[in-house]
Amino acid sequence: MSLLDAIRGPRDLRELSGAELATLAGEVRSFLIRNVSRTGGHLGPNLGVVELTIALHRVFDSPHDPIIFDTGHISYVHKILTGRQGAFPTLRQADGLSGYPCRAESGHDWVENSHATTSLSWAEGLAHAFQLRGEDRTVVAVIGDGALTGGMAWEAMNNIAVQAGLKLVIVVNDNGRSYTPTVGGIATHLSSLRTDRRYEETLKVIKQRVRSAPVVGGPLYDLMHGFKTGVKDILAPQGLFSDLGLKYVGPIDGHDIWMLERAFESARNYGGPVIIHAMTIKGKGFRAAEEDEADRFHAVGTIDEETGEPLTANPKRTWTDAFRDEIVAIARDNPSVVGITAAMLHPTGLDAFARAYPDRVFDVGIAEQHAVTSAAGLSLGGLHPVVALYSTFLNRAFDQLLMDVALHRQGVTFVLDRAGITGPDGASHHGVWDTSLLTIVPGVHLAAPRDEPRLVEALRAAVAIEDAPSVIRYSKEALPPVLEAVERRGAVDILTRTADPQVLVVAHGAFAALGVEVGRRMGAQGIPATVVDPVWALPVSRDLVDLCRDHRLVLTLEDAGVSGGLGARLAQEVADAGVWTPVRNLGVPQAFHAQGTRAEVLERIGLTAQALARTAVELAVSCDGTVRGEVEGVSPTAAE
């Protein structure tokens, strides 16, 4: 029986010897590699925090002392040590173990955080609540150097610094990376401590002296802090954290359990906010990850657990691939086009642009708000920025989009990857919120292309818009087959057309082919339908409104939130034009949808061809009793 098999909770760690802890760390890494290689997930980040998480659970009394991870994808080791080993074969699968902290899974999970830079605000608020309630509890926040590029973290730090009695320990997990190497001034500061040879020499002395120091209370803290002050004076005179008034320990070896424990014990007993700076190696213990300079196996699909090679070939061209190629072509033709991303250079496809024109692409770190307002400034200065983000992360910069870009009528293009239902990362990563936000932005242009030729057209058109924001959204999936229109009517593409159509199906983006199938099934039920792609969903074109006038019922399909979405905006425009054709919207119900494959989630919420066709027929019958067709008993769960 392995040591790991005997760990059912954090208390089981307390009696292990130093040698046993080293063995346990190795077993945890083997467990991670074996399981995550089969399910996919965030492998590299978790391999880097094995010793750190073990030490946290030996020193702090979770869940009495909350441990908050920023972001939650580094919580796999925490899950293993809190009794969830047996669920790892279901990691990130429908009804299985979440890839992030999950309060429904365990009382050890306090915050279900999966957007970066939030942990310090959570921790400050929670620690302040305990303080006001007179509860003797310490809150721990584990935050990466990548997350420290986000402004929200520093807003929290500014407030934490003035609360001297707050029992809060901030652990900086410094691996020099988010997806790829961390960028910006914060990263440069931390890097100077990591790489200066004088620090390496001093670290040896610190380790020798600390190992002989008292292990609890002030003496150890004073010793370590004193050493840090000396190192800081030599290597980092500005004292980034100390100058804020925060007590600082480090940098220390994030893979030395003994040293981590001594630092954690001292910080716990200090009685106020303390920052512990731990240097770790992303992907540690897995050779393929350690040698991969691109992202250290940040997130993987199913892979060979020995070599790290993917087990499922993905030869299909993706939307990201199409954007990657076209933005380089656009940049070559138009020197005013520049690119911006927030620590997502490779995942969003801006990497090829950066290689071709390195001076014209800016990775601002995990700082979406800054990215958007910086883009407004670039536009004001005569350039055309293309901001590439995941759809879910645009939420974080809505005010900047509204007040800095749209209000100032700046020509900025937003390219939203991973739009719609995305799958295994769960509720926080489904890109279903952007359209509901964008429909209230005055002047915004939004396209959801149905295939690659339409993506190319939309990108070319977007970078020519100089007096308003433009948005292009698409899925993470493989590109669908090209779907040609049978007719272009004004600004609208007619995808299918029948004699004497009764129903107009307006199918947006990824749901265009689905709309064609729904129309075919409606026709088989005796309800002729026209299926259209509006090409540009916003602003709503007069041509689309006129088409609505020519039909008895309009159904909209969208891979996004149905409340306040593109269909709802069309319904408003139709009513404002004095057109009395009823508009019914079908899309993603406004809820937090659990993880699963995209197909599983879509089936769960009734967004399949069969379910939508039945719903469409039922709606058609309810609007006009003369419409032919028998309806099987299916409730329109996806309709608003």
Which positions are annotated as active-site residues? 282, 368, 396
List, as one string, the DSSP characters of 497-526: --SS--EEEEE-GGGHHHHHHHHHHHHHTT
**377: exposed, middle or buried (Cβ count in 10 Å: 0-12, 13-18, 19+):** middle
**Angle at 62 (CA atoms; ends 56, 63), nearest 5 degrees:** 150
Question: What's the rounded Cα separation, in Å, for the pair 533 and 221?
Answer: 65
CB atoms within 10 A of CB 451: 21
In Å, the largest CA–CA distance within the chain is: 89
CA distance 313 to 111: 35
3-state secondary structure of 85: helix
**DSSP letter (8 states) at residue 580:** -
- Can you tell me which residue has the tokens 């239902």? 421
SS3 18: helix
* Nearest C-alpha neighbor of 602 from the set 614, 588, 590: 588
Distance separating alpha carbons of residues 275 and 264, to the nearest angstrom: 10
Tokens coding 252: 């220390």
Measured between alpha carbons, how far is 476 from 420 in angstroms, rounded to an integer?
A: 9
Closest CA to 146 of 183, 194, 118: 183
Query: What is the distance between the alpha carbons of residues 595 and 284, in angstroms, rounded to a whole number?
Result: 28
Distance, CA of 269 to CA of 207 (rounded, Å)? 20
DSSP annotation of 216: S
In angstroms, rounded to a whole number, what is the distance separating the alpha carbons of residues 199 and 203? 6
User: Using an 8 Å Cβ cutoff, are 575 and 561 in contact?
Assistant: no
Strands 492-496 and 529-533, sheet pairing: antiparallel
475 with 418: CB under 8 angstroms?
yes
Run of H or E residues at 248: strand 247-253
Euclidean distance between CA atoms 389 and 370, whole angstroms: 13
d(CA 356, CA 349): 13
Angle between helices 542-549 and 566-576 (to 10 degrees): 70
For residue 639, what is the DSSP state?
A: B
At position 285, the amino acid (one-letter code) is: G
Place of tokens 């005997």: 6
Residue indicated by tokens 């609505």: 548
| CA dist list (Å): 477 to 160, 422, 445, 604 | 42, 8, 23, 18
Amino acid at 315: P
In the chain the first and final C-alpha atoms are separated, in Å, by: 55
Answer yes or no: are the C-beta atoms of 437 and 394 closer than 8 Å: yes
CA neighbor of 506 nearest in space, from 470, 474, 551, 473: 551
